[in-house]
């Protein structure tokens, strides 16, 4: 299917959904957009007054969330020319700027680095993590959980942009050599997404197909998903092997 952002401001070129990054303003993509946005909003509440680099910022919505929440300065970094052009035209605040640059070339210094859902795309993650640790005292780094993204027993999902996906233990082993402290949160479904999980276990897939209501149901359900339908839980309070994503708070 061919999906493009809807209802963009005048003069802002819409982006096409390719699977490499998530986008707002695409109803069919709303689940993944909200799954990313809830983490940006959680981080935004913790960076007021600080300088922040949002590495691999993509469309720019996350950088804008961080800037709107009171960060002293936010720079969104992305190498993709279309994403960079879109971001700089769409999101404009006195404390927000964008640069077209490889994340591997970022040097800092800044107070905080945000690097979400991208480490799985990186050819040499250890080298990049070392650079991140040198560039900021605190970094927020997230990645999907292979155990809940890929088919059982598979080494990774079918996402062609992912080079490697991690379990909880593998992710900690990747991060710990580069930081003095690593704390990992787990992202889980809540509210209506949790109810949907339970319905699937009870056979909802068979029911909606038999009733021939699959498309009308999900045409309404997916756009209605909000950040309140996800929750972040500390690793001490959950089984991270069941998490959707891992959100690591890393201190240099």
Domain containing 163 — which CATH number? Answer: 3.40.50.150
Answer whether residue 150 is part of any domain.
yes
Answer whether residue 221 is part of any domain.
no
The partner residues of 201 in beta bridges, in order of sequence, read: none
- Model pTM? 0.96
Answer whether residue 147 is part of any domain.
yes
Answer whether residue 116 is part of any domain.
yes
Domain that holds residue 31: 27-189+231-251
CA distance 25 to 47: 26
Please compute the mean of the pLDDT values over residues 97-105 and round it to a whole number: 96
Please compute the mean of the pLDDT values over residues 179-184 and round it to a whole number: 98
Answer whether residue 34 is part of any domain.
yes
Residue found under tokens 């379990």 = 167
pLDDT band at 19 (very low <50, low <70, confident <90, very high): confident
How many CB atoms within 10 Å of residue 35?
21
Answer whether residue 1 is part of any domain.
no
pLDDT band at 79 (very low <50, low <70, confident <90, very high): very high
Q: In the chain, how many domains are there?
A: 1
Answer whether residue 9 is part of any domain.
no
Answer whether residue 79 is part of any domain.
yes
Give the three-state DSSP class for 72.
coil
- Evaluate the CA torsion angle 178, 78, 223, 146 in order and state its sign: negative
């Amino acid at each position: 299917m061919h999906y493009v952002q809807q209802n963009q401001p005048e003069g802002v070129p819409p982006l096409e959904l390719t699977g490499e990054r998530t986008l707002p303003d695409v109803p069919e993509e709303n689940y993944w957009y909200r799954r990313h946005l809830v983490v940006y909003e959680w981080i935004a509440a913790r960076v007021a007054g600080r300088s922040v680099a949002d590495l691999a910022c993509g469309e720019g919505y996350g950088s804008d969330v961080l800037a709107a929440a009171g960060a002293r300065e936010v720079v969104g970094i992305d190498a993709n020319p279309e994403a960079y052009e879109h971001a700089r035209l769409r999101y404009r605040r006195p404390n927000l700027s964008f640069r077209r640059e490889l994340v591997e070339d970022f040097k800092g210094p800044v107070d905080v680095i945000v690097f979400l859902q991208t480490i799985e795309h990186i050819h040499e993650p250890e080298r990049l993590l070392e650079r991140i640790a040198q560039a900021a005292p605190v970094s927020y780094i997230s990645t999907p959980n292979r155990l809940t993204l890929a088919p059982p027993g598979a080494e990774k999902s079918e996402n062609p942009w992912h080079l490697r996906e991690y379990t909880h233990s593998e992710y900690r082993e990747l991060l710990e050599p580069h930081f003095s402290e690593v704390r990992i949160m787990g992202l889980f479904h809540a509210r209506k997404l949790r109810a949907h999980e339970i319905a699937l276990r009870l056979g909802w897939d068979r029911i909606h197909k038999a009733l021939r209501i699959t498309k009308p149901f999900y045409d309404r359900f997916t756009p209605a998903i909000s950040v309140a339908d996800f929750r972040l839980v500390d690793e001490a309070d959950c089984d991270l092997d069941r998490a959707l994503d891992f959100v690591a708070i890393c201190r240099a």
